[in-house]
């Protein structure tokens, strides 16, 4: 799947009150006679799934519904979501406690839907002979204040490093830094950041000393131009793949990825139909773009969650470091009534 082809070409800018109206208020907030537009923004990791679902769903609506998908990063997307600017936030991590509080203060209730599993993938240029790194070596490279600037410091060749990585609005940045460095958002800053994973791909593909990390789907799409580094978490090196993410051996960099849906927006038939379509097709599309599907029983649970608009999170505002697919599926919401 060509994720670059599906890049959103623009964003709709509207006043805050009008945006709040079209998310949860009357249909007249959108231009009379125009197609209803579902607004999605957030994670670049989740973007390939959401964009593929959006493209397929729009073909079923005879032009009556549009779906606009952006990729400003998980944190930026959730900020927009908690301001009522979008219907759905893509996120490569669970919603944080601070974001839960922001949404609550704004009266925004959300339905949490895990859609797939990902493996954060560390990549280097194909000419680089380094084949594996321990988590401790990753920490040496990426920790705050790190002075590691050559691969020979971590058992590799005498080759200067050029580091690329997600920006600070990225859920992948937060997950990786917590899983590797022990504290979310704790990282060296002397690297080239981008919220566009294709920029990171290009950086490493064009630089023999390049190194980056991003979602598995972007590696799967570009594996002829990159080399994925196997990660040793104490039980020997394990390469990232759909198989090792599925069986839980690719640790600690495997993680669930999500959509968060505005509960009030789910009253709209267009949004409810889209979310149901998303859940019903998430397994097929997530596998096709390079992620790992959840069990069908889990999708059935999440479909009921969307239909009943069951709000809240099963993660308590914390990251799911080291959680397996089975762990995530077993988590249950503390159900809270929806305010209509």
* Sheet with 192-193: strands ordered across: 192-193, 162-165, 210-214, 121-124, 227-228
309 — alpha (psi -120 to 50), left (phi > 0) or beta? left
Peptide bond into 252 cis (omega under 30): yes
Grade residue 32 by pLDDT with cuts at 50, 70 and 90. Answer: low
Q: In the structure encoding, which two tokens stand for residue 152, read together? A: 């020979």
Q: In the structure encoding, which two tokens stand for residue 124, read together? A: 């280097």
**What is the pLDDT, as a whole number, of residue 193?**
97
* Across 270-275, average pLDDT: 98
100/78 Cα distance (integer angstroms): 10
Grade residue 335 by pLDDT with cuts at 50, 70 and 90. Answer: low
Task: Kindly report, residue by residue over 87-137, the tens digit of the pLDDT.
Answer: 999 999 999 999 999 999 999 999 999 999 999 999 999 999 999 999 999
Q: Is 174 exposed, middle or buried (0-12, 13-18, 19+ CB in 10 A)?
A: buried
Task: Kindly report, residue by residue over 167-225, the tens digit of the pLDDT.
Answer: 998 999 999 999 999 999 999 999 999 989 999 999 999 999 999 999 999 999 999 99
Question: Dihedrals φ, ψ of 221, to 5°?
Answer: -75, -25
212/200 Cα distance (integer angstroms): 6
171/319 Cα distance (integer angstroms): 10
DSSP string, 117-186: EEE-EEEE-TT----EEEHHHHHHHHSTT----BGGGGTS-S-B-EEEE--TT-HHHHHHHHHHHSSTT-
What architecture is domain 37-116+256-330? 3-Layer(aba) Sandwich (3.40)
Q: Is the dihedral of CA 231, 235, 238, 243 positive or negative?
A: negative
Same topology, domains 37-116+256-330 and 121-247? Answer is yes
* Among candidate residues 136, 11, 146, the one with its CA nearest the CA of residue 86: 11
- For the 121-247 domain, the top CATH level (class) is alpha beta
Share above pLDDT 70 across residues of the chain, in percent, rounded to a whole number = 88
Say if CB 48 and CB 6 are below 8 A apart: yes
Say if CB 180 and CB 225 are below 8 A apart: no
Task: Kindly report, residue by residue over 219-262, the tens digit of the pLDDT.
Answer: 999 999 999 999 999 999 999 999 999 999 999 999 999 999 99
Higher-confidence residue of 127 and 1: namely 127
**What is the pLDDT, as a whole number, of residue 34?**
84
Grade residue 310 by pLDDT with cuts at 50, 70 and 90. Answer: very high
* Across 135-159, average pLDDT: 98
Helix (H, G, I), strand (E, B) or coil at 76: helix
Q: 214: Cβ–Cβ under 8 A, 6 or more apart, which residues? A: 44, 45, 120, 121, 123, 166, 172, 197, 200, 201
**What is the pLDDT, as a whole number, of residue 165?**
97
Average pLDDT, the chain: 91
**Residue 262 carries which DSSP code?**
E
Listed by start position, the domains of the chain span 37-116+256-330, 121-247
- State yes or no: pLDDT of 6 exceeds 60: no
* Across 264-292, average pLDDT: 98
Angle at the Cα of 82 from the Cα atoms of 64 and 19, rounded to 5 degrees = 40
How many beta carbons lie within 10 A of that of residue 234, not counting itself?
8
Grade residue 338 by pLDDT with cuts at 50, 70 and 90. Answer: low
Say if CB 257 and CB 92 are below 8 A apart: yes
Q: Which of 53-67, 286-300, 305-319, 321-335 has the lowest mean pLDDT?
A: 321-335
- State yes or no: pLDDT of 24 exceeds 90: no
101/58 Cα distance (integer angstroms): 34
Q: In the structure encoding, which two tokens stand for residue 30, read together? A: 């959108």
**What is the pLDDT, as a whole number, of residue 262?**
98
């Amino acid at each position: 799947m060509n994720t670059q082809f599906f890049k959103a070409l623009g964003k709709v800018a509207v006043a805050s009150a009008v945006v709040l109206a079209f998310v949860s208020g009357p249909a007249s907030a959108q231009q009379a006679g125009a197609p209803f537009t579902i607004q999605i923004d957030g994670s670049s990791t989740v973007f390939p799934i959401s964009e593929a679902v959006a493209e397929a769903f729009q073909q079923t609506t005879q032009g009556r519904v549009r779906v606009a998908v952006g990729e400003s990063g998980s944190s930026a997307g959730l900020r927009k979501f908690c301001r009522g600017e979008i219907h759905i936030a893509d996120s490569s991590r669970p919603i944080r406690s601070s974001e839960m509080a922001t949404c609550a203060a704004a009266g925004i209730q959300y339905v949490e839907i895990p859609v797939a599993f990902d493996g954060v993938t560390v990549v280097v240029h194909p000419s680089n002979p380094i084949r594996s790194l321990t988590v401790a070596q990753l920490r040496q490279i990426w920790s705050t204040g790190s002075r590691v600037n050559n691969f020979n410091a971590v058992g590799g060749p005498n080759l200067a490093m050029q580091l690329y990585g997600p920006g600070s609005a990225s859920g992948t940045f937060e997950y990786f830094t917590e899983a590797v460095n022990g504290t979310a958002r704790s990282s060296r800053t002397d690297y080239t950041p981008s919220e566009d994973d294709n920029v990171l791909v290009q950086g490493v593909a064009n630089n023999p000393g390049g190194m980056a990390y991003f979602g598995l789907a972007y590696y799967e799409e570009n594996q002829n131009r990159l080399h994925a580094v196997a990660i040793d978490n104490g039980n020997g090196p394990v390469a990232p793949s759909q198989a090792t993410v599925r069986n839980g051996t690719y640790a600690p960099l495997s993680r669930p990825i999500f959509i968060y849906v505005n509960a009030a927006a789910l009253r709209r038939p267009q949004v409810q139909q889209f979310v149901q379509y998303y859940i019903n097709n998430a397994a097929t599309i997530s596998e096709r773009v390079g992620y790992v599907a959840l069990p069908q029983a889990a999708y059935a649970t999440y479909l009921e969650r969307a239909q009943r608009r069951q709000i809240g999170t099963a993660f308590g505002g914390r990251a799911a470091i080291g959680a397996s697919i089975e762990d995530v599926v077993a988590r249950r919401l503390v159900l809270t009534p929806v305010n209509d």
